[in-house]
Amino acid sequence: MYSMCSILFCYIIAVLLILKKFGNIISMKCNNKTKFIFVTGGVVSSLGKGIVSASIGALLKSRGLNISVLKLDPYLNIDPGTMNPFQHGEVFVTDDGAETDLDLGHYERYISVKLNCLNSKSAGQIYLNVLEKERQGKYLGETVQVIPHITDEIKNSIYLAGEKCNILICEVGGTVGDIESLPFIEAIRQIRQKEGIKSVFFIHVSYLPYIDTAGEVKTKPTQHSVKALLGLGIQPDLLLLRSKNKISNEIKSKISLFCNVPLTAVANCPDLATIYEAPLILRNEHVDQLILEHLNIESIDSDLAEWKNVVWKFKHPKKKINIGIVGKYVNFTESYKSVNEALIHAGIHLNTRIIFHYIDAENIKNEEIEKNLKILDGILVPGGFGERGINGKIASVKFARENLIPYFGICLGLQIAVIEFSINCAHIINATSEEFDPKAKNLVIHYIKNQQKITRKGGTMRLGSYPCAIMENTMAYDIYRQKLIFERHRHRYEINNDYRDKLVSAGLIFSGFSPDKNLIEIIELKEHPFFLACQFHPEFLSNPLNPHPIFKRFIKESINHNEKRQLIY
């Protein structure tokens, strides 16, 4: 009887403890009060603030919290869609068709969330909204000013993005001290003031340069950057120090003392073999624990097993293959960020290290093509705009098709494949795209209906997620194993339906269509190990824990090609 009672007692206590734990989480999830993490950057740009924010998101998500992210960009473009990829890098497209900063790609890949236009705001958009309201008379009688009108608009965007989550991670683009990011910094200062210390956490990401001649890392730029931040009313709750190599505790103590943050709030993230190791490093530095303690949030524990597996597989590949990316922006590979990452994801999944060969399409000479492309196990032509380098891309597709090298075309890569096939297989003389030569006779690629009427260039392409019907008994079907899929688009041109019959009779397979069959979305070839191209951008939906199926098949066939090549040479 006595032991029955004690078992019952223990049971009740255990149930109460579990209820308390989940009760805390649930009550936190239900009390609607979003907490905020603001990430600023100091010293230099390109510190990987996006990866840091995304990794913190991954850590907090793994603890059962509902996370969303907002990127604030200080430039005056409404979105990066009208910028040169050489300057800005890739334009990431969300399901709802927003053209956004490439950091949104990191957030989606690490946190496995679907973001939208609320998750990316530029100063241009903020000013546009304010000026629109001014014209509508919403501020009648007032003098419209940066403070409070612009800062209020920024705060509205932050609250809107944080509406449905437990924690909003908000990354402020640029570097502290820039003139253009001042209104953003002021807005986040005001949010801390309003919401209180326990609801807001400030992270400042800074850089510790290693000076060869002194043989040590230097902390002074970080000290100045924190001082600049303090001058704007923000005391960081965590300093996240990027460095080439791991820094010593001595350096951490020095920074703690001079930057007025506790030693426990100085974390280090050195350069890593793979960016997917960042969540593990930040966990080791107790970053998520510190945030949760500060924000007074109880959460479940997680061992990050999936991330550990990704990192282990990346570091212990069984094979290496050579993938050629034939494009225009090859000197600035940030322009192909999601494509690069999607290839890496598939490689990790198949225990294979991808060796990237960025090939400038403009420099491809027909006489040298064999020498340059023969070493490749797979060739990919990614998205792009304009006619520069087109001939080199066509020559690469021809080489891949004739030599049975796996070929994967994405968006422009599909259009190039259709042009190449039209010229060399369907014998359509001088076949081209309306984009490159609008007056040409055989426009096998032409404007999507209504696109030629468009005069405003910003945000007017065919953008965002659209359904695609997959034809059975095709490679596309074998890859997706579904009749209807959704993929993201960003283009103005499409395959001209007047040429469908000619292309089909010459052997081209159309394996994916818009559900009304008006737009061709996927093409492939039969007598080829992998010749597949799509009008959409599958790279946007790949993540390390769930690589995209087309990328997986492309890499699998490239591995096969590599093995065959080893046998021949």
Q: Taking Cα atoms as reference points, which of 153, 144, 148, 163 lies closest to residue 125?
A: 153
Contact 170, 158 (CB under 8 A): yes
Rounded Cα gap, residues 279 and 285, in angstroms: 10
Any contact of residue 158 with ligand GLN (CB under 6 A)? no
How many residues in total does the chain contain?
Answer: 569
Any contact of residue 446 with ligand GLN (CB under 6 A)? no
Which of residues 492, 500, 502, 565 is near ligand GLN by CB under 6 A? 492
Any contact of residue 493 with ligand GLN (CB under 6 A)? yes
Catalytic residue among 537, 548, 557, 561, which?
537
CA atoms within 13 A on the CB side of 358: 13
Residues in region 362-381 near ligand GLN by CB under 6 A: none
Instruction: Please confirm, yes or no, whether 298 is among the known catalytic residues.
Output: no
Q: Which is nearer to ligand GLN, 102 or 411 (CB)?
A: 411
Rounded Cα gap, residues 70 and 50, in angstroms: 10
The DSSP call for residue 173 is: P
Any contact of residue 412 with ligand GLN (CB under 6 A)? yes
- 3-class state of residue 396 by DSSP: helix
**What is the smallest separation between the CB atom of 170 and ligand GLN, expressed in angstroms?**
29
**What is the smallest separation between the CB atom of 244 and ligand GLN, expressed in angstroms?**
35
Angle of CA points 288, 292, 296, to nearest 5°: 175
Number of amino acids touching ligand GLN (CB under 6 A): 10
Binding region for ligand GLN (CB under 6 A) out of 82-90, 97-105, 128-136, 488-496:
488-496
430: left (phi over 0), alpha (psi -120 to 50) or beta: left
Residue nearest to ligand GLN (CB): 383
Contact 85, 335 (CB under 8 A): yes
**What is the smallest separation between the CB atom of 330 and ligand GLN, expressed in angstroms?**
15
Which of residues 490, 552, 553, 561 is near ligand GLN by CB under 6 A? 490
Any contact of residue 447 with ligand GLN (CB under 6 A)? no
Which of residues 313, 491, 552, 561 is near ligand GLN by CB under 6 A? 491
Rounded Cα gap, residues 482 and 477, in angstroms: 6
Residue type, 110: Y
Positive or negative torsion for Cα 49, 52, 58, 59: negative
Any contact of residue 512 with ligand GLN (CB under 6 A)? no
Which of residues 39, 411, 426, 550 is near ligand GLN by CB under 6 A? 411
Catalytic residue among 539, 548, 557, 561, which?
539
Q: Report CA 501 to chain centroid distance, whole Å.
A: 38
Any contact of residue 383 with ligand GLN (CB under 6 A)? yes
Q: Which is nearer to ligand GLN, 258 or 385 (CB)?
A: 385
Contact 35, 167 (CB under 8 A): yes
**What is the smallest separation between the CB atom of 448 and ligand GLN, expressed in angstroms?**
8
SS3 of the chain: helix, strand, coil, percent, to 5: 45, 20, 35
Q: Which helix (H) or strand (E) holds 431?
A: none
Binding region for ligand GLN (CB under 6 A) out of 365-373, 484-492, 503-511, 512-520:
484-492
Any contact of residue 332 with ligand GLN (CB under 6 A)? no
DSSP class per residue in 238-272: EEEEEESSPPPHHHHHHHHHHHT--GGGEEEEE--
Rounded Cα gap, residues 421 and 426, in angstroms: 6
**What is the smallest separation between the CB atom of 27 and ligand GLN, expressed in angstroms?**
46
Catalytic residue among 165, 170, 259, 411, which?
411
Positive or negative torsion for Cα 558, 560, 561, 562: positive
Instruction: Please confirm, yes or no, whether 539 is among the known catalytic residues.
Output: yes
Rounded Cα gap, residues 423 and 459, in angstroms: 33
Any contact of residue 434 with ligand GLN (CB under 6 A)? no
The DSSP call for residue 452 is: G
Any contact of residue 80 with ligand GLN (CB under 6 A)? no
**What is the smallest separation between the CB atom of 408 and ligand GLN, expressed in angstroms?**
13
Any contact of residue 384 with ligand GLN (CB under 6 A)? yes
Any contact of residue 336 with ligand GLN (CB under 6 A)? no
**What is the smallest separation between the CB atom of 468 and ligand GLN, expressed in angstroms?**
16
- What backbone torsions phi and psi does residue 300 show, to the nearest 5 degrees? -80, 165
Q: Taking Cα atoms as reference points, which of 293, 295, 291, 248 lies closest to residue 268?
A: 248
Binding region for ligand GLN (CB under 6 A) out of 296-304, 335-343, 469-477, 491-499:
491-499
- 3-class state of residue 6 by DSSP: helix
Any contact of residue 421 with ligand GLN (CB under 6 A)? no
Instruction: Please confirm, yes or no, whether 425 is among the known catalytic residues.
Output: no
**What is the smallest separation between the CB atom of 489 and ligand GLN, expressed in angstroms?**
8
Rounded Cα gap, residues 323 and 408, in angstroms: 10
Any contact of residue 435 with ligand GLN (CB under 6 A)? yes
Which of residues 385, 436, 477, 513 is near ligand GLN by CB under 6 A? 385
Residues acting as catalytic residues: 411, 537, 539
Binding-site ranges for ligand GLN (CB under 6 A): 383-385, 411-412, 435, 490-493
